[in-house]
Amino acid sequence: MVAAAKLRRAQEQIARLRPYADGLANMLAHVAAKVDHRLNPYLQEREVQTICFTILTADRGLCGSFNANIIRRAKNEIDAQLEAGKQVKLVTIGKKGYEFFNRRGYEIDFKEIGLFNNLQFSHATSLASFLGQRFLDGSYDQVYLIHAEALSPVKQNIVMHQLLPIIAQEPDEGERHYEYEFEPAPDVLLNELCPKSLNIKTWRAMLESYFAEQGARMVAMETATDNAQEMIYHLTLYYNKVRQATITKELIEIVSGAEALK
C-alpha cells in the first residue's frame, strides 16, 4: 500500500515532465544539427579516452530484481569499455549501486545515497552541474546515464542514454523541417539551452528510476503477500490434518482400552 501511494505520486510527476522533456530534447537536437558545434562546448565531440557512467539504483532492496537488472546492465557496459582500453569513471546514485561497485574496486568519482527519500529538482541540477563541469574540464569525454524506465507501473526496461556531448539529430522524414532564425545569436541561445537540457534530462532519469522502483516494489510486495497467504493456507491445512490424526489416534486408544477391560 505504501509503494502504491508513492507510485501514484511518481506517476503524476513523470507524466507532467515527459512532454516538456521530449520537446526540449528534440528541439535542441534539431537546432544542434543546424549550427556549428564550435559555438558551444557541450556539443563538441572529441576523441574518447575517459567515459563516465552515471548509474541510478535504489537505496533499499525488497523490490524484486530491480537493482540487479540495472547493475547487470551497467557492469556489462563498463567491462566492455575497459576491455576496449578506455578509462571508466562511475557516478552512483543510490546505495545498492554504490555498494556493489565499491566492493569490486571500480573507480567511483561521485556518489549520492538517500537521495530518493526526498527527491527534489535541486538534486538533479547539482548532479547535472557536476557532470557538465567534469565534461568541460576534460575529465570526461563522454557521459552516459543508466537507469530503469517504466513502460507501465508493473513493467520496467533498463536504458542507457548519452548525456554528453549533446547529440545532434536531423528531423525524421515524416516530421516537419523548420528553418531556425535566431534572436539573440545562436551561441547565446545554446549557452542557455544546453545547461537547461542537462538539468531536465537528469531530472527525468531520476523520476523515471523512482517511478520504476516503486512499481517494482509494489509488485514484489504483492507477490510476497500472495506467497505468504498461500503458505498460511497450506500450513493451516497441514495443522488440521495433524490435529485430526491425533484426535483419531486418541479415540482409538480409548476405545481399545475400554474393549480390553470387558
Give the start-to-end residue ranges of the domains of the chain: 2-221
Look at the domain 2-221 and name its fold. Answer: Pyruvate Kinase; Chain: A, domain 1 (3.40.1380)
> Between residues 156 and 186, which one has the greater pLDDT?
156
* pTM for this prediction: 0.83
DSSP-derived 3-state class of residue 160: strand
Query: pLDDT digit string (tens) for 93-136?
Result: 999 999 999 999 999 999 999 888 888 999 999 999 999 999 99
Q: Which of 82, 81, 108 is nearest to 95 (CA)?
A: 108
DSSP-derived 3-state class of residue 29: helix
Q: What angle do CA 201, 90, 143 make, to 5 degrees?
A: 40
pLDDT at 171: 65
Instruction: List, in sequence order, every residue forming a beta bridge with 150; answer none if it has no partner.
Output: 156
E-state strands within 85-141: 87-93, 108-112
Q: Which of 47, 48, 54, 18 is nearest to 150 (CA)?
A: 18
User: Which grid cell sits at 130?
Assistant: 557536476
Q: Helix 186-261 crosses helix 66-83 at what angle (to 10 degrees)?
A: 130
User: What CA–CA distance (Å, rounded) separates 86 from 72?
Assistant: 19
The answer for residues whose C-beta is within 8 angstroms of residue 209's C-beta and 6 or more apart is 56, 57, 58, 93, 94, 116, 147, 148, 149
Q: Is 70 exceeded by the pLDDT of residue 177?
A: no
Q: Is 90 exceeded by the pLDDT of residue 206?
A: yes
Instruction: List, in sequence order, every residue forming a beta bridge with 120; answer none if it has no partner.
Output: none
Beta-sheet strand order (sheet of 155-164): 108-112, 87-93, 50-56, 142-152, 155-164
pLDDT at 53: 97
